[in-house]
Amino acid sequence: MITVYGEGRGFRVVWLLEEMGLAYRLRPVDMLAGVENDPEFLAINPAGFIPAIQDGDVTMVESIAIMEYLMARYGPTPLVPDPHDPAFGLYQQFLHLGEAGLAASIFFVIVAKILAPEAEQDNWGTRKALDTFKSRLKLVTRQLERTPYIAGERFTAADISVTYALQLAKRAAGFELAEIERAYVARAIARDGYKRAMDACGATKAWVASQGGE
Ligand SMILES: N[C@@H](CCC(=O)N[C@@H](CS)C(=O)NCC(=O)O)C(=O)O
């Protein structure tokens, strides 16, 4: 049985598991209560961030790496284009850009807004992080002008990666998405796999509901 520790970006992992129809259990990690009070989780990830997974003898962190592991270990799955498919390069690019370019940048804008003293919220670092998010988003927008999904005509795991980042920006940073991006997110989250993941991720569901959003 695969155990997923924590929601947050763990939502990507749960969404993927639901799309693949794999059995798992979600073990909550309460970041706000402080991971220092959760020695069982710290034994899994001493760096104290989520998500992590445990699958038999395998323990891993990093949501995109976890997704790649699960698809390689339990595939084949249509969520990954064949390496000879012309879509494969775009798939790889956006799978990683969803985290390294988008979520990782906007995350620092969000935590500054939530946790930093007011005088430190708007600083060079957070402005640079927001600019980085906006610049990477141009690649997403251009691709969506060409194809309905981020790597082409079909939904792939890269859409899980990018959709999560766009929703994070909208929900937690109040970032205004363009119509083409909003339509894309709506397409991705209309999937049954997304709905099942939302039902499984109680903390995410409650947070989204508290904001009156989808
Ligand atoms: N690149 C990592 C980012 C992980 C990350 O920053 N997770 C956040 C919550 S979604 C977290 O636990 N932050 C607390 C910390 O970094 O100490 C991934 O994709 O899994």
Check if 48 has its Cβ closer than 6 Å to any atom of ligand 1: yes
> Closest residue (by CA) to atom 16 of ligand 1?
49
Tell me the helix, strand and coil percentages in the chain, rounded to 5: 65, 10, 30
Place of tokens 């060079």: 124
pLDDT in tens, 55-103: 999 999 999 999 999 999 999 999 999 999 999 999 999 999 999 999 9
Place of tokens 């370019």: 101
- 3-class DSSP assignment, residue 172: helix
Check if 8 has its Cβ closer than 6 Å to any atom of ligand 1: yes
> Closest residue (by CA) to atom 17 of ligand 1?
49
pTM attached to this predicted model = 0.98
pLDDT in tens, 46-56: 999 999 999 99
Whether 91 and 40 have beta carbons less than 8 Å apart is answered as: no
pLDDT in tens, 97-134: 999 999 999 999 999 999 999 999 999 999 999 999 99
pLDDT of residue 161: 99
